[in-house]
Structure 1
């Protein structure tokens, strides 16, 4: 598939089928992501992927926490939406408007899919060393973007979401992540379900609204 088509068609998938993700696909997706730009070639990222019974255990523990009403406590700090820029808040409001329209027939399905970890058949967890430079966070963003694009190129869907690292202690325990690493990002992978959760692709701002070219 042409790169421009991969970028244009990729979107966050919020529900997956029960079909497992091939192990070699996971290896090749990470191999592709390793081409991401990195400050001084530091390559700060480390990758752990949960599948099968390991992922089933994470889902079980996560669902119990959700059912208990426990609040999330991710290791990257979360800023209240009211403190984001005016433009960012407008974009988020637009997203929620699109969600309300797209899921008008099943309004509860959007939130429910998060507690189920989107029925992902693989979850990629990305860490960086504790105390990393902000440039390492920049690198991690580039690396995670390439994972999502590489997954789509191989016929898979992906979503990086707060929910996936909402209870980091669960992931740390099951995946054996030490205290010297910060659990930063989770990406759910799988074969997209043919339903509104699998198909929903919110619009983006026009390029004219974000671009300035000085000549």
Structure 2
């Protein structure tokens, strides 16, 4: 698969089959992602991958936290990277978000949000989840590096016909993740990426997202 085909074929998969991703594939994908650009070659990211029994432990621990009564919940849902409320985004971004949310109902019906929640509660049935971290006090430039690393990872995966999903759902309980994945306290958990093979029969995998018209976002000055 050439690069442009991998870019156009990539999409967010919200439910995976039980087929595993081999450790060799995982290692080779991370090796490929290490070719992403990095500020002065700082390479600030660390990578933690959960599979098998470890991922199942994370899945069960997260389900317990999700279902805990608010008074009993030991760890509130939050990520190390702050989340901005939708109403604080630009009007253009809010319009795009609203269009996407409306598309869920259009595609899946009124039960769409519930189906999305069910898939998320199972961590999308992912057989592997990649957690990307940065050191505490990281430079803002490192966020670009991490984004480039993540994008290179999922495009390398697509090239091997391995599907992916980047989601807040994976990183909303950072303390639990540190405990189960031996992530040091001085690392911030920034991003979570599921890898696996799309369940083509899952309704949530019919969801699509539109991109803005080119002329709305592009300006070329000659």
How does the TM-score come out when normalised to structure 1? 0.96
Looking at structure 2, the residues matched to 124 and 176 of structure 1 have their Cα atoms a distance apart, in angstroms, of: 14
106, 109, 133: which is aligned to 1:104? 109
Instruction: Please list the CA deviations of residues 46-77 of structure 1 after superposition, one character each: whole Å capped at 9, or x if unmatched.
Output: 10100000000000000111112554110001
**1:126 counterpart = 2:127:** no
**Contact 1:16/1:198 (8 A) holds in 2:** no
**Contact 1:157/1:190 (8 A) holds in 2:** yes
Matches within 5 A, 1:132-143: 132-143=138-149
- SS of structure 2 residue aligned to 1:178: coil
Q: Which residue of 2 aligns with 1:87?
A: 92
Q: Which residue of 2 aligns with 1:35?
A: 35
- Across the aligned residues of Structure 1 and Structure 2, the Cα RMSD in angstroms comes to 1.2
Alpha-carbon spacing, 1:78–1:46, altered in 2? closer, same or farther (3 Å): same
Looking at structure 2, the residues matched to 69 and 126 of structure 1 have their Cα atoms a distance apart, in angstroms, of: 29
**1:113 counterpart = 2:113:** no
Deviates more, 1:62-71 or 1:24-33: 62-71
**Contact 2:19/2:127 (8 A) holds in 1:** yes
Matches within 5 A, 1:64-75: 64-68=64-68, 71-75=76-80
- SS of structure 2 residue aligned to 1:92: helix
**Contact 2:178/2:184 (8 A) holds in 1:** yes
**1:208 counterpart = 2:210:** no
Instruction: Please list the CA deviations of residues 150-194 of structure 1 after superposition, one character each: whole Å capped at 9, or x if unmatched.
Output: 111111111110010011111100000111111111001111111
**Contact 1:103/1:110 (8 A) holds in 2:** no
- SS of structure 1 residue aligned to 2:192: strand
Q: Which residue of 2 aligns with 1:146?
A: 152
1:199, CA displacement in angstroms? 3.8
1:94, CA displacement in angstroms? 0.7
Unaligned runs of 5+ in 1: none
- SS of structure 2 residue aligned to 1:43: coil
Looking at structure 1, the residues matched to 4 and 107 of structure 2 have their Cα atoms a distance apart, in angstroms, of: 26
Looking at structure 2, the residues matched to 109 and 118 of structure 1 have their Cα atoms a distance apart, in angstroms, of: 11
Looking at structure 2, the residues matched to 89 and 187 of structure 1 have their Cα atoms a distance apart, in angstroms, of: 24
Aligned length: 215
Looking at structure 2, the residues matched to 105 and 119 of structure 1 have their Cα atoms a distance apart, in angstroms, of: 23
How does the TM-score come out when normalised to structure 2? 0.93
1:38, CA displacement in angstroms? 0.6
